[in-house]
């Protein structure tokens, strides 16, 4: 389990990555790969957080 302070920080990081990822993944292929990886990590992180 992730403590809530870290969880909130992680969630805002995910939102930021996803928001900017949607813009940049059209522009840069490398970013697209990062975006996909981060999206997967965020989904996994949320699943862990919900426990």
**pTM exceeds cut of 0.75:** no
The 10s digit of each residue's pLDDT in 2-15 is 567 777 777 888 88
The 10s digit of each residue's pLDDT in 19-40 is 877 777 667 777 777 778 888 8
Q: What burial class does residue 37 get, using C-beta atoms within 10 Å of its C-beta: 0-12 exposed, 13-18 middle, 19+ buried?
A: exposed
Contact between residue 35 and residue 25 where contact means Cβ atoms under 8 Å apart: yes
Helices (H), 1-51: 4-24, 29-50
Contact between residue 12 and residue 18 where contact means Cβ atoms under 8 Å apart: no
pLDDT for position 47: 74
């Amino acid at each position: 389990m992730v403590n809530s302070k870290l969880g909130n920080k992680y969630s805002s990081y995910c939102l930021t990555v996803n928001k900017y990822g949607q813009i940049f993944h059209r522009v840069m292929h490398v970013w697209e790969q990062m975006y996909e990886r981060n999206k997967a990590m965020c989904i996994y992180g949320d699943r862990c957080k919900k426990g």
